Amino acid sequence: MTCASRNPLVLAVTGGIACGKSEVGRILETLGFAVCDTDHVAHQLMKRGEPVYARVVECFGRGILADNGEIDRPMLGKKVFENSNDRKILNGLVHPAVKEWLVGWLAEQAAEGRDAAVQIPLLFESGITDLWDAVVCVSSDADRVAQRLAGRGLDIGEIEARIGAQMPLNEKEKLSDIIIYNNGTVEELEKQTRQTILSALAERKTT
């Protein structure tokens, strides 16, 4: 979405695991936002031949590689979710490269006058907090999160590890500018998101 009477809006979309960040991103695309998923960016930056790939393999060893030589992301993910120090090391290798990429991408969107939204689950954990006009936190009740993760094939131990590896959701809510609650249907989430974001756009237009 663009408008000659205001500057483009830049949003960070964060929240807890399995809370609906991707769905909110999809809805923002229907509102005209350019949307970027940092998980996808990190995946691309960790591909064979990229500098991040070399640093990660050097740090964690060739045992994290799949038969094709690429990093086995499920294997690496399991390793770091089981060890907070390994997780901190991996984040230290990946997050600076992701931020550098985002700075360039956001500059491109600004040059085109496009509103932009970045899905960034570890926003506060990564320290990438200086690129946004506002932070949107997508939140859900704990039982709904557990149900969704179980539907992805995770057992109770894996669910607890994934949730425990992130900043508590109530803390993310306190640090955010906008909270979107995803405890109902997709239709309810879409209605709430559209109302919330259109209100933010309208306020930006008048300031």
122-130: average pLDDT: 90
**The pLDDT value given to residue 207:** 58
Q: Which helix (H) or strand (E) holds 125?
A: helix 123-126
For residues 116 and 106, is the Cβ–Cβ distance under 8 A? Answer: yes
- Structure tokens of 88? 């901190």
Domains in the chain (CATH in brackets) are 10-206 (3.40.50.300)
Q: What is the pLDDT of residues 162-189, one digit of tens each?
A: 888 889 999 999 999 999 999 999 999 9
Of 4-8, 43-47, 77-81, 98-102, where does mean pLDDT reach its minimum? 4-8
Of 3-17, 23-37, 100-114, 127-141, where does mean pLDDT reach its minimum? 3-17
Q: Which residues pair with 181 in a beta bridge?
A: 139
For residues 16 and 143, is the Cβ–Cβ distance under 8 A? Answer: no
- Structure tokens of 33? 């936002």
Judge whether residue 68 has pLDDT over 50: yes
Judge whether residue 3 has pLDDT over 50: no
**The pLDDT value given to residue 4:** 47
**The pLDDT value given to residue 26:** 96
**The pLDDT value given to residue 166:** 85
| C-alpha closest to that of 198 among 34, 16, 36, 33 | 33
User: Can you tell me the distance from the alpha carbon of 201 to that of 167, in angstroms, rounded to the nearest whole number?
Assistant: 28
- Structure tokens of 47? 């591909």
Q: What distances in angstroms separate CA 136 from CA 68, 108, 129, 176, one per listed residue?
A: 38, 22, 12, 6
